[in-house]
Structures are given as structure tokens and as C-alpha cells.
Amino acid sequence: MRSLLPFVLLALGVLVAAEPTLSPYTLHERRSAVPEGWAWHDKHDADAVVPLRFALTQNNIADIEKHLMDISHPDSPNYGQHWTAGKVLQTFAPNDDTVAAVRMWLLENGVDGERIRVTPTKGWVEAKVTVAEAERLLQTEYHVYNHEASGTKTLLIVVLITGTPPACDSYHLPAHIQPHVDFVTPTVHFDAVIAPRDTSDDGSARTIGQPNHGVYPKTTGTVGTLFQELEHCDQQITPVCLRALYGLVYSPLAASKNSYGIVEYTPQAYVQSDLEMFAQNFSSDLAGASPQVVSIDGGEVQTTYKGFGYNGESNLDLQYGMSLVTAKQPVTLYQTGDMIEGASFNNFLDAIDGSYCSFEGGDDPTQDAAYPDPNAGGYTGKEDCGTVKPANVISTSYGYNEADLTPAYTARQCAEYAKLGLMGVTVLYSSGDYGVAGNGGLCLNADGSQSSSGTRFNPTFPGSCPYVTSVGATQVNPNSTVLEPEGACEQVIYSGGGFSNHFALPAYQKAAVDSYFANHNPPYSGAVYNNSRTSRGLPDLSANGANYVVAIDGAFSLVFGTSASSPVVGAILTLVNDARLAVGKKPIGFVNPTIYSDAFGGAFNDITSGGNQGCGTAGFTAVPGWDPVTGLGTPNFPQLVAKWLLLP
């Protein structure tokens, strides 16, 4: 009798393992179009072994918005009670049931335990399988594509069995596994082989710092006569114009407790002699001042490549960011990525939050840079992972089109912005410079691909993530003064704005968006943009983006873009933080629930003229109240300080 029990248990165990759990397959991820430059080559060799990686879903992630509102909504009793990094990590790590479910499913389907590995952070389950096994597990087919420009590169992607290849790329998971998996690699993400810097623009997220890639400022050339007077702010924006426009008269009191960070992606770099030239003309307190450079993943302020395409962005961001917070408040420069691979937003986020490195399976190796850099001449150090302290306010003047990235990729990164908000960090991104079109003037085609002849609006990311603050652009209207209302920027660039195709309308924005549609319903159908009134609208606010005088390579140039607007708003919010820190309060953290609240009515200068044309349309129009061109309007600094000092 004693020996029977173990035998029965063993038999049951075998029975369970041999009988796969039956649940129907459903579509998990789909890529709407093959990126330009890739051509179908052949069906993939069925016997080849691939490392199939499953990014596991996080615990409690569905509650992240609730948690964020709890500490950042001004009406919440917990306003300002920011979380520690440890609490964030503990709350959202994948739980053991998730790891076990994916493991069990693989075992049931004939992948023996020796081929399955769970990463130490429990972020990923990895399985060494043949292509034939992967095709069965994911109900899909693997094909090889060639990258035409680089000739020899081949890669794996998935093509929908029932679709017309290669227009629809997708894979499937059983219904009982789906809730445990965010995404699987390699699948619909093109495995763009890491290219050296000068063969550059492979369409992956890490090429964000390449000249003319993504959001970058525009210039109309060098300035003849410099104006120092306020009456010419319609022709040249200088710090004195911005101070007048936004009531920015303030001297920092709590600089040692405060911080302001500006992110730049190599090879973008500032030039010290240009900072000096700007200081001499417009900000004498900054003579001899430099940003505090924090190098991430081998980031260096390179001096090999010069010109507007390499120095314009960094010089603009730092000259205005540093000048507006004054020399009393040091500015941190997060210089991200080496010269060979570059970096993506995910590489930066890994550096400032170690929990993100493994969050939902970690970065996407086909989109984000890998460190140590495997390429000759690349950065050989370890990837920065939680090694850098995030500043209270972080401004980034780079961006993607939402459509450049899959919904799973943007969702993972967006959740990270919520986590930073929980930790009390204010995250600002410029909203793009092409109005309702995407970077480069690209619009969406019906199949989701992007082209200049597309007719559907193409919103930017990360601005479309509801947990960042998206910054649009305004202008001093021609022949107007700083005492008159600004309009939406309609010189050289148009303020990025519209409605997300990936993210739903957040609760904090609902009243503003409802009111916009009720009173100013735009004349476009659902074929042109997501007009459901239930998707995230952007930008949230705006600041001047036209005619900036910037010292670049020894001369002053006129510069345009939401690239300018974001560091200006960052400086203003940094000074709001200073006022709060000086009286012993916490930094303002994630600002959106606050700035949309009734209590902050009047804290922004409402912009009611101009539009953001694009995609062959006039775009949206700036109207009273929030609009998808200039958001709530431009900051009124004295009002913002007064209102934020009233909050706990």
C-alpha cells in the first residue's frame, strides 16, 4: 500500500503533461505593413533553431493609472506622496503564476524543460525551438526578408497564414496564455541588423539621434541684425521675449534640492563655444557655464561632426533651458548612446529606472540599442541600468510617429512614464513639427503604412502616451507684440497635435476633450483621424516655437520647432518646483491631472488662433479651451506658482 500513492501521483503527472490544455488561438500582435526597404525573399528554413522569447505581463499593471491619479490628482488626499523606486518594482513585477503558465504551455507542447529558461528578473521566458515548432506554437509562418539598401541582411518575420503576404504580419497565442504575454520575439518586429552610424537610418527606434530623423528643429539660416528689444519678438525670440510672454521673473532659492534634465541622443551634441556666445549676448550670468553631463551607454558630446544637423538641437535645448532657469540652477544633460549604435528612449529609461530594464521582458532587441555595443568601435561598457538618478523635470525634444512602433512597444514604454510619474518625475516631450502629419510630413495610408500621400492623420509618440506631458508650439503673430495673444505656430513648422491611435482618453482629459468636441467638432470623418472622442488628445500645453535666436557653430541662426517649446516649458516647471521645494513641499511630478483640473483654470494663456495643417488638410484649429493644436495654452508662470503653492 505504501508504494502505491507515489505511483498514482506520478501517473497523474504524466497524464497532465501529455494532455495539452485546449484553448482557442486568438490574434496577439499584427504589423500592418512591411517597412520600406525590406523585400520578401523566401520561406524560412523550418529546421533552423530560433530563441523564442516571451515578454511576460506585469502584475497590477491594470491599476497603474489608478495609483498614478492617487498621488498626482490635486483632489486626492495622497497628492504628492510619490513612491520609492523599490515600491514601484515590487508592485509591478510579473507574478509566479504568469511564469508557470507560459512554462507549462511550452512543456505541454513538446518543448522539453532543458530548452526553456526563465530570466533571473522573471521578465522573460525563453525557449530554444525550431522554426517549425515556433510556427506551430504561434500559429504563424516565418519568412525571410532582405533589406535592399544594405544588401546582405536577412531577418525573420511572421506573415499571417490567411492574409495576403506580406501586407499583414501577425501571430497568435492560445486564449489562456494571452493574458500572461505582452509580446513575443522574433515575430512582427523587423530584426534590423544593427547598422554602423553612417549607414544609419534603418527605421529602428535607436536611430533617434541621427540628423533629420524624427523630430528635429528647422532653421531659416543665420540672423543679420540681432535685436535686443522686446518690440521685435515677432521676428526674433530671445530669453527676454520668453520671460515677458510667460511672466518668468524668478530667481531660484532651492537649487541645491532641485534638478532639471535635458536628454540628447548621440551624435547630437552641444558646442561649448556656442553656449559662451549665447551667454555673452543674452544671458551674461551663464558665462563659463556648462551643463552637468551624465553619460548614458557611452554617450559622448562628440566634436567630430558639426553643423546644424548635429549641433542645432542640443545647442537650442541647452541655451534656452539653462538661460531660463538662470545660472543658479544647474542643468543636467543626459547624453545617451554611443557613436556607433546610438540609442532609443528605452535605453535612457533603463538608465534612470533599473526596474525598467526587465519590465515586461525588457527592451526590444530589434528596436533598442544593445550594450555593450557588439559593433567594432562601440561602447564596451555594460548597459546603464538604474545607474542614473532622474531629475525632477526631464525634457526631450525627440519623438517618433506612433505608427513607427507597435502598440505593444508603445504600451510598455508608456507604462514606464506612469512609473516615473509615481516616483515624482515630470516628463515632457515635444509634440512634433508637422501639424496633424507625422515626422517628415508622413501620413497614414488605409493599411496603416506611412507615406507623404497618406490621408490619415499621424500622431506622435511618446506625446500620445497619456502619462507624459506633450508640448506644442505657438508664435508671436507677425507684427504683434508680447503683450498680445500668441497664435498656433504657423511659420516653418506646425504644432504637432491630434488624437492617438494607440491610447484611450485618460480620465483627467475627458472634460476638456468633451468640451472641445461639443463646441468645435472638427470637419473630418473617422477615416481621417480617430474621431471616437474616446482616444487621447495631444498636446497638453504649448510654448513659443518660432524664430528662436540660437548660437550654432559660431553664428546666430533662427530656429523653429516644438524642439524649443519643450525645454522652455521644462525650465518654467523647474522654477515652479523651486518655489515648492523652497517651502518644504515635494516636486510637482506628473502634472496632467493638475493642469486640467478646474483649480488651474486661468493658469494658461489660452491660444485661440491658428491651426496645424497637414495631410492635405487645414488640420485642427486653435479654439477657446483645450484644442489639439496648442493644448491648454501657454504657461502663465505667476499663476502656476501661486496655484501650485496652494497644493500640499
Ligand X SMILES: *[C@@H]1O[C@H](CO)[C@@H](O)[C@H](O)[C@H]1NC(C)=O
Question: Catalytic residue positions?
Answer: 313, 317, 563
Secondary structure in 3-state letters for 601-647: CCCEECCCCCECCECCECCCECCCCCECCCECCEECHHHHHHHHHHC
Interface region with ligand X, contact rule CB under 6 A, candidates 88-96, 275-283, 327-335, 404-412? 275-283
8 A C-beta contact, residue 83 and residue 355: no
Instruction: Please give the residues from 522 up to 541 whose contact with ligand X meets the rule CB under 6 A.
Output: 526, 530, 532, 534-535
Which residues are paired to 20 by β-bridges? none
Closer Cβ to ligand X, 84 or 534, answer by number: 534
Interface region with ligand X, contact rule CB under 6 A, candidates 148-156, 257-265, 274-282, 605-613? 274-282
The site for ligand X, by CB under 6 A, has a size of: 13
**Smallest separation (angstroms) from ligand X to the CB of 478:** 4
Q: How far is CA 19 from the centre of its chain?
A: 44
Among 9, 12, 46, 504, binds ligand X (CB under 6 A): 504
Neighbouring CB atoms inside 10 A of 199's CB total: 9
**Smallest separation (angstroms) from ligand X to the CB of 213:** 27
- For 16, the enclosing helix (H) or strand (E) is helix 4-18
Among 178, 235, 281, 639, binds ligand X (CB under 6 A): 281
Instruction: Please give the residues from 213 up to 272 whose contact with ligand X meets the rule CB under 6 A.
Output: 226
Closer Cβ to ligand X, 281 or 455, answer by number: 281
Q: How far apart are CA 183 and CA 176, in angstroms?
A: 14
Binding residues for Ca(2+): 606-607, 625, 627
| Contact characters 99-128, ligand X, x per CB under 6 A | ------------------------------
Nearest to 307 by CA among 299, 315, 317: 315
Nearest to 312 by CA among 544, 492, 559, 496: 559
Cell numbers found for residue 629: 493644436
Closer Cβ to ligand X, 234 or 364, answer by number: 234
**Smallest separation (angstroms) from ligand X to the CB of 607:** 17
Which residues are paired to 88 by β-bridges? none
Closer Cβ to ligand X, 118 or 223, answer by number: 223
Cell numbers found for residue 295: 553619460
Query: Measuring CA to CA, how many Å separate 276 from each of 229, 242, 313, 317?
Result: 21, 20, 16, 14
Among 478, 601, 624, 648, binds ligand X (CB under 6 A): 478
**Smallest separation (angstroms) from ligand X to the CB of 281:** 4
8 A C-beta contact, residue 489 and residue 475: yes
**Smallest separation (angstroms) from ligand X to the CB of 276:** 7
| Contact characters 30-59, ligand X, x per CB under 6 A | ------------------------------
**Smallest separation (angstroms) from ligand X to the CB of 571:** 22
Torsion of CA 422, 411, 194, 127, to 10 degrees: 100
| Burial call 358-384: b when 16+ CB within 10 Å, e when fewer | bbbbbbbebbbbbbebebeebbeeebb
**Smallest separation (angstroms) from ligand X to the CB of 464:** 10
Helices (runs of H) and strands (runs of E) counted in the chain: 14, 28
With binding defined as CB under 6 A, does residue 501 bind ligand X? Answer: yes
Compute φ and ψ for 597, nearest 5 degrees: -75, 155
HSE-CB of 35 using CA atoms within 13 angstroms: 21
Q: Which letter does DSSP use for residue 568 in this model? A: H
Binding residues: 606-607, 625, 627
Q: How far apart are CA 557 and CA 470, in angstroms?
A: 26
Closer Cβ to ligand X, 61 or 573, answer by number: 61
Neighbouring CB atoms inside 10 A of 62's CB total: 9
Neighbouring CB atoms inside 10 A of 75's CB total: 12
8 A C-beta contact, residue 201 and residue 440: no
Closer Cβ to ligand X, 39 or 446, answer by number: 446
**Smallest separation (angstroms) from ligand X to the CB of 553:** 12
| Contact characters 56-95, ligand X, x per CB under 6 A | ----------------------------------------
SS3 29: strand
Q: How far apart are CA 431 and CA 538, in angstroms?
A: 7
| Contact characters 369-408, ligand X, x per CB under 6 A | ----------------------------------------
**Smallest separation (angstroms) from ligand X to the CB of 321:** 19
Cell numbers found for residue 485: 495673444
Closer Cβ to ligand X, 12 or 226, answer by number: 226
HSE-CB of 308 using CA atoms within 13 angstroms: 15
Interface region with ligand X, contact rule CB under 6 A, candidates 43-51, 273-281, 579-587, 628-636? 273-281
Closer Cβ to ligand X, 27 or 226, answer by number: 226
Closer Cβ to ligand X, 64 or 352, answer by number: 64
Beta strands in 161-206 (DSSP E): 169-174, 181-185
Q: Which letter does DSSP use for residue 94 in this model? A: P
List residues binding ligand X (CB under 6 A): 226, 277, 280-281, 478-479, 501, 504, 526, 530, 532, 534-535
